[in-house]
Structure 1
């Protein structure tokens, strides 16, 4: 490969830095037409390049936490599920290269999402009308983690990279490597990740004042004996991931296969799970002893393994009238075990799933350009053991979608339609359910001038109920047989009579891009019919509330703002200021607030970048969440300060980057209103994160 000289590298890095601040040229992999972000009115956020490298964290939720409209539903450092405009769980679909991650994260807040941000080339977040490309389950949004495990281009020679980083907050060591190469029409991909961490360090006690008050009231004794000071107990863990893939290219087409093995073992923060001493399955092969990671005895651990197989076929002009035909097939074998303090397995979750996706992009026809697609899924889910409150269930989903765009002068119109058939077939006495749903969208993007764009998106999305919403505890007769869901510290009762959930959405966006400055403002409104939520029945069993899944209308509204300004050039570098913020409000038809919504946030980031050296500082101000919902406590606001430095230099045929960041400089106590565990597991205190990365 050609040697990269330092001056050329500095210029290229400076150009890349500007592109990162004004991310308007990214080609959208998640949209089959492969549009750029500036060419669509669909509300889409992209994280890539240096911005992704800086934001990448141990969980996908933590990676996306500082983007407008996005938040993290933390369940300790091992679990961070994404929240999109206040929606989480089954309403947010996480994809790996366009097909489902196929884990158990949508079933419970304590289950980790099985994707790795540190191995991604980009992360694309779709909201509003764009989600109909991936099914009604994505009614809240889609997170597509894109990597190159199946090489999409010919590679001449060898390229890759490696990174090591250490985070002092949890004594976390992460090593990641990637190697790609090829010769002629053959290309291969290898990557691996190893992560090891201990209990999370925090400012003060793990339990909040609310938790103390509740404990004192219920137990009549000092709550201090039930919490930890300076750290959150039982939050260490270990992750290992290995991927191998290859592709064969012919003409402008390719076919490829990839295999990934992921192992994730992590603790659930103290105070989350409160199991009884029921007898469980012996864990003869559990050798991840507490002493290995320095964990304290006690507490539940999640031991997860997943093997995923991906097949992709890309054909260029396969038939007259077709521009591209793409096919994807994935099979995922997922299992996780909840291990009790004594070493026995309390609950074993298994999920075997198949997914296929076909996209046919037709050539322009009478000024229309679009894609016709078919998506099919099959999944068998089982939960056996102490916390098996959901019966073994087979799910089959099939969807047909069409997306078209039409150009009329300075206006681009986009329209979409999706038809879905979802089947839920539980074992035992619960009845099978079938759902037919229709989703549609229309949007317009008006290029008012070279610098101004105005976009309007309208959509109707329909979602079939998830299996936990339908069948939780429905096969258990009466309160004596009900099984508690320890993650929410409640007893959840499903409703087999639930209907589909319908959301009518509107997005209005205004963009200004002068080349050196960029501003984007988006207003959104979601009107839900038959919104599915957990409603407090007023009953209690063993001091735990009985929550029943029901339906009522709901509305969500909010604003998202992002901007970047090149302020000045000084000492060979450019000062770039980013200002961002968001606010989301959700209200149920009975007047109650939707629980666990993110607060209003405003942030700014100032960086000075020469291409080779970048120094930056960031502040995020989060308001108090004083609309917590029924039976929920308000969450205090916080101010978080971060700062960092990146240094890049040409080395051999590649680039070496040394980076360091000071996180939460003021050692602020941060509790996320989106988290079930905000009263027993705050976020990390003041810490240093540093590492080195080499790409060639």
Structure 2
């Protein structure tokens, strides 16, 4: 998969290979002071056009997992959270059109992110200094999923499309559709999808028998599939905008319903281990064996968005952008007997204002403000975090300066965040966080450039880091977190963590080739880690949030080379690799990091047919962290073809087929809490048809 490093190269979003591409630059949404990608020194990556449609899957983590520096923290086929340079969870902010996805994905590894890659126009990923625009919580990175549900340009015609795809790995059937129309003044957007799938097919055993200490694991595991991983998703979006001479105002509403099962491995490990409590003593009067619990999640989210864009509203201002979002999210965790075990609710208001000023003595920049109010609650058997209200205020400034061969950028941000738990055992906390960044891009020759970015970011601890199981006074009162099969213990006294980052990038752009090489070094003070203590309570492991200094360092390379023509088509070879290492001073290796990966892709393309073969080699992850298990490496081969039928009335029909994991390799992701209970899909065929007009 070819990814464009926008800070260093032109984007080739309209064409699948370099040999017949035209230099079409992506218009940035996440960095408002830059109209085009090549105008920024900030490290921004974009996935769009045919590249996005070819790589999009049901989860954002899997969609981005072939990108250098990005990985997937899967929890069965319905959940895939993005990992950016080894950071995941609360350190990665996922946005929907510039504001928070407003789900509860950060509170647990088994909670799906409420964004839909299969409906996206583009996905922008910000790393390093660029994350300052979205706060210290984005200390690892920002993923902004953009779907045009509020039409940002005036429309005077009708366009749309419909796609059907099937994936044999889980008998998945997915149909998605989109329609946009307008009369020049008013623009309307409607989109939606319906997806249904069965249990995930895998090679061999669901449980990793080599790492299991359970003598009955071989009898309890499933073979050839992962039990309870079926599901169903519906997502509908309706939006409109009124366009006028210097901007637009728009509204949108979205509805998500997502019902899916959780792989039983982690849940089954601790099921009924609380038999020490009197209320469970008579649950199995006949001495029947209790199998792994079949937990299912029933998610509902309704989201309302409003946006206002003004171009040159008054002298000295180029653009004013305002966003307002209200999200009502809830999900039920349903036990195997059909009863609701836990109910999660999350109600979020978010407002964002960005003001871009005209150049002043070659300085061009944006000043902005961000407000967020959040009410979170979890009630029921798995409620290990008390209901908590959170409030936040962010102020930011980003400026750039251009000379003939140099581009400089610098920014400042201040955040105030407050946590108010509804518990006598959990104190209120408030935090003042300060962040700064600077970057430079030097065009040292017509085909060569070098970029340097430095930043210092502060992140306030989130609710689960502060308050997990904080109300437990005795061992019997600890609540097991079913997703991790562990007791997680927070620390209300946690301080902010501070990250000082350096990014160094080298870029070469030829006529029919490019190469990007990036090195990064992140020095954390008071890094908040969820580490395995090695202790157990009633045979359930204990994970604790603790602070320690840490260092992350790594490298990423991405390249593509045109090899010439063959049989009437152009041939290109893409090569890439990434590696990250994280180590804490006292607690040792950071857990759940991706291994070193090397990838290659060979493409053949003419005007109507594209063929490709992709290979990826992931090394062993033998630095799993304290009291964690190693993860074996793997080699994965994929191949595919796209065939385009064009018609004179601008209607396009694309037939596509992908052969995934051709060798039926057992793939377990070291980034996943569930790596020893649920491997990735085995050999599968994905095929479909896409019609656009």
Question: Normalising by structure 1, what TM-score?
Answer: 0.93
Return the alpha-carbon distance in structure 2 between the equivalents of residues 440 and 475 of structure 1. 37
Task: For 1:652-667, list aligned pairs within 5 A.
Answer: 652-667=649-664
Question: Contact 1:14/1:609 (CA < 8 Å) preserved in 2?
Answer: no
Return the alpha-carbon distance in structure 2 between the equivalents of residues 297 and 359 of structure 1. 50
How far the C-alpha of 1:486 sits from its partner, in A, is 1.3
Return the alpha-carbon distance in structure 2 between the equivalents of residues 482 and 257 of structure 1. 44
Identify the residue that residue 530 of structure 1 maps to in structure 2. Answer: 526
1:247 matched to 2:241:
yes
3-state SS of 1:162 partner:
strand
1:353 matched to 2:352:
no
Q: 1:492 to 1:498 in 2, by over 3 A?
A: same
Identify the residue that residue 7 of structure 2 maps to in structure 1. Answer: none
Question: Contact 2:14/2:24 (CA < 8 Å) preserved in 1?
Answer: no
Task: For 1:584-663, list aligned pairs within 5 A.
Answer: 584-590=580-586, 592-651=588-647, 652-663=649-660
How far the C-alpha of 1:490 sits from its partner, in A, is 1.1
Task: For 1:108-507, list aligned pairs within 5 A.
Answer: 108-212=108-212, 214-216=213-215, 222-274=216-268, 276=271, 299-429=294-424, 430-507=426-503
Return the alpha-carbon distance in structure 2 between the equivalents of residues 255 and 211 of structure 1. 56
How far the C-alpha of 1:646 sits from its partner, in A, is 0.2
Return the alpha-carbon distance in structure 1 between the equivalents of residues 544 and 165 of structure 2. 44
Q: Deviations over 1:523-565 (max 9, x none)?
A: 0000000000123444321111222211110000000000011
3-state SS of 1:690 partner:
strand
3-state SS of 2:266 partner:
coil
3-state SS of 1:685 partner:
coil
Return the alpha-carbon distance in structure 1 between the equivalents of residues 84 and 25 of structure 2. 23
How far the C-alpha of 1:297 sits from its partner, in A, is 9.7
Return the alpha-carbon distance in structure 2 between the equivalents of residues 20 and 535 of structure 1. 49
Return the alpha-carbon distance in structure 1 between the equivalents of residues 637 and 413 of structure 2. 44
Further displaced range: 593-602 or 646-655:
646-655
How far the C-alpha of 1:662 sits from its partner, in A, is 0.4
How far the C-alpha of 1:569 sits from its partner, in A, is 1.6
Return the alpha-carbon distance in structure 1 between the equivalents of residues 491 and 394 of structure 2. 24
How far the C-alpha of 1:570 sits from its partner, in A, is 2.4
Q: 1:316 to 1:338 in 2, by over 3 A?
A: same
Name stretches of at least 5 consecutive residues in structure 1 with no aligned partner.
1-11, 217-221, 280-295
Question: Contact 1:655/1:695 (CA < 8 Å) preserved in 2?
Answer: yes
3-state SS of 2:461 partner:
coil
Which of 655, 673, 678 pairs up with 2:675? Answer: 678
Return the alpha-carbon distance in structure 2 between the equivalents of residues 157 and 413 of structure 1. 41
How far the C-alpha of 1:276 sits from its partner, in A, is 4.6
Return the alpha-carbon distance in structure 2 between the equivalents of residues 254 and 494 of structure 1. 45
How far the C-alpha of 1:24 sits from its partner, in A, is 7.3
Return the alpha-carbon distance in structure 1 between the equivalents of residues 238 and 564 of structure 2. 45
Identify the residue that residue 285 of structure 2 maps to in structure 1. Answer: none
3-state SS of 2:691 partner:
strand
3-state SS of 1:273 partner:
helix
Return the alpha-carbon distance in structure 1 between the equivalents of residues 420 and 396 of structure 2. 24
Identify the residue that residue 36 of structure 1 maps to in structure 2. Answer: 36
Return the alpha-carbon distance in structure 1 between the equivalents of residues 13 and 578 of structure 2. 30
Question: Contact 1:596/1:675 (CA < 8 Å) preserved in 2?
Answer: yes
Return the alpha-carbon distance in structure 2 between the equivalents of residues 20 and 496 of structure 1. 57
Question: Contact 2:202/2:681 (CA < 8 Å) preserved in 1?
Answer: yes
How far the C-alpha of 1:408 sits from its partner, in A, is 2.5
Q: Deviations over 1:345-389 (max 9, x none)?
A: 000000000000000000001110000010010000000000001
Return the alpha-carbon distance in structure 1 between the equivalents of residues 473 and 628 of structure 2. 29
Question: Contact 2:308/2:321 (CA < 8 Å) preserved in 1?
Answer: yes
1:689 matched to 2:686:
yes
Identify the residue that residue 515 of structure 2 maps to in structure 1. Answer: 519
How far the C-alpha of 1:477 sits from its partner, in A, is 1.5
Q: Deviations over 1:454-478 (max 9, x none)?
A: 0000000100000000011112212
Return the alpha-carbon distance in structure 1 between the equivalents of residues 83 and 665 of structure 2. 22
Further displaced range: 532-541 or 320-329:
532-541
Q: Deviations over 1:484-517 (max 9, x none)?
A: 1111111111111110010000000000011310
Question: Contact 2:34/2:40 (CA < 8 Å) preserved in 1?
Answer: no
3-state SS of 1:431 partner:
coil
Return the alpha-carbon distance in structure 2 between the equivalents of residues 653 and 46 of structure 1. 26
Q: 1:21 to 1:497 in 2, by over 3 A?
A: farther
Further displaced range: 329-338 or 264-273:
264-273
Return the alpha-carbon distance in structure 1 between the equivalents of residues 600 and 566 of structure 2. 20
Question: Contact 2:470/2:491 (CA < 8 Å) preserved in 1?
Answer: yes
How far the C-alpha of 1:273 sits from its partner, in A, is 1.6
Identify the residue that residue 283 of structure 1 maps to in structure 2. Answer: none
Return the alpha-carbon distance in structure 2 between the equivalents of residues 179 and 576 of structure 1. 34
Q: Deviations over 1:579-638 (max 9, x none)?
A: 011000000012611010000000000001102100110000100111111111111110
How far the C-alpha of 1:272 sits from its partner, in A, is 2.3
3-state SS of 2:18 partner:
helix
Which of 501, 505, 510 pairs up with 2:506? Answer: 510
Question: Normalising by structure 2, what TM-score?
Answer: 0.93
Task: For 1:56-67, list aligned pairs within 5 A.
Answer: 56-67=56-67
Q: Deviations over 1:299-321 (max 9, x none)?
A: 10010000000000001111211
1:574 matched to 2:573:
no
Return the alpha-carbon distance in structure 1 between the equivalents of residues 60 and 327 of structure 2. 19
> Once superposed, what is the RMSD of the aligned Cα atoms?
1.8
